[in-house]
């Protein structure tokens, strides 16, 4: 990984070129491993608004989610969470009180899926990704992860295996952990049977994009 390190004597243009070569190498390796084995189920870039995602507010929470063109991960805009209240004064402040949801998504029996989102925050804060059943709102398998977002864009993801029966599911991007502004971009939910679904390259591209 020496090509990704920069000292004070290395020109920025050379660092970008080295990172681009490393990115191309990683993508080439992963594409070879994943060819004909990944099928997209949900892809959202937020270039045309929420594109099927809906803001869900529970227990008296107050928040808005709006397009923001100031600093997207990719393209022309991302979307921003602004949270005014986590819950009503007489209620419980649960993270799921404020979340974006997308439904329904049909999960094929015993198929492996990946849920990936690009995220940044005004300052370090938690957020969660969750896949739940439409029928009873319970979490599908172990499809619930909590991450720490930072001011720099990063791709966050996790993989899980769907239940043995066909399941109608709901995708959730959970933001009610606190009131720190949060941005999301480029959501992908897809099925995969590959061991290398391009995510190391995604993380490298996040670094590369911000140096240009």
Tell me: do 74 and 11 sit in the same domain.
Answer: no
Tell me: do 122 and 208 sit in the same domain.
Answer: no
Radius of gyration for the alpha carbons in the chain, expressed in angstroms and rounded: 18
Tell me: do 139 and 78 sit in the same domain.
Answer: yes
Tell me: do 83 and 178 sit in the same domain.
Answer: yes
**Angstrom distance (rounded) from CA 18 to CA 174:** 36
Structural domains of the chain, count: 2
**Angstrom distance (rounded) from CA 45 to CA 28:** 24
User: Along the 212 residues of the chain, how does pLDDT read in single tens digits?
Assistant: 433 333 444 455 544 455 444 443 444 434 444 344 455 689 999 999 999 999 999 999 999 999 999 999 999 999 999 999 999 999 999 999 999 999 999 999 999 999 999 999 999 999 999 999 999 999 999 999 999 999 999 999 999 999 999 999 999 999 999 999 999 999 999 998 755 444 444 444 333 333 22
Angstrom distances, CA of residue 2 to CA of 7, 19, 133, 167, 206:
11, 10, 45, 45, 18
Tell me: do 130 and 162 sit in the same domain.
Answer: yes
Tell me: do 67 and 131 sit in the same domain.
Answer: yes
Which residue, among 139, 133, 135, 140, has the nearest Cα to 95 in the 3D structure?
139
Tell me: do 202 and 172 sit in the same domain.
Answer: no
Tell me: do 122 and 147 sit in the same domain.
Answer: yes
Q: Looking at residue 59, which CATH number applies to its domain?
A: 2.60.120.260
Tell me: do 187 and 95 sit in the same domain.
Answer: yes
Tell me: do 125 and 75 sit in the same domain.
Answer: yes
pLDDT of residue 40: 60
pLDDT of residue 41: 84
Angstrom distances, CA of residue 178 to CA of 63, 98, 132, 189, 198:
11, 10, 22, 25, 31
**Contact predicate 29/37, CB 8 Å:** no
Residue 34 φ/ψ region, left for φ over 0, alpha for ψ in the -120 to 50 degree band, beta for the rest: alpha
pLDDT of residue 176: 98
**Angstrom distance (rounded) from CA 4 to CA 206:** 13
The domain in which residue 19 lies consists of 1-37+194-212
Tell me: do 12 and 76 sit in the same domain.
Answer: no
pLDDT of residue 13: 54
Tell me: do 24 and 111 sit in the same domain.
Answer: no
Backbone angles phi and psi of 113, in degrees to 5: -125, 155
């Amino acid at each position: 990984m020496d090509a990704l390190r920069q000292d004070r004597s290395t020109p920025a243009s050379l660092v970008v070129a080295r990172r681009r070569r490393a990115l191309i190498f990683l993508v080439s390796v992963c594409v070879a491993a994943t060819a004909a084995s990944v099928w997209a189920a949900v892809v959202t870039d937020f270039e045309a608004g929420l594109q099927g995602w809906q803001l869900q507010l529970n227990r008296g929470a107050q928040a808005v989610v709006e397009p923001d063109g100031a600093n997207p991960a990719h393209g022309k805009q991302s979307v921003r969470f602004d949270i005014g209240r986590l819950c009503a004064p007489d209620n419980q402040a649960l993270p799921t009180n404020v979340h974006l949801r997308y439904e329904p998504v049909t999960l094929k029996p015993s198929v492996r899926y990946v849920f990936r989102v690009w995220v940044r925050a005004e300052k370090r804060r938690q957020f969660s990704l969750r896949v739940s059943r439409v029928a009873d709102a319970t979490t599908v398998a172990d499809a619930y992860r909590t991450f720490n977002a930072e001011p720099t864009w990063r791709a966050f993801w996790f993989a899980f295996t769907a239940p043995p029966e066909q399941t109608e599911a709901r995708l959730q991007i959970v933001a009610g952990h606190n009131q720190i502004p949060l941005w999301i971009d480029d959501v992908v939910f897809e099925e995969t049977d590959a061991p290398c679904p391009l995510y190391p390259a995604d993380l490298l591209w996040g670094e590369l994009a911000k140096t240009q």
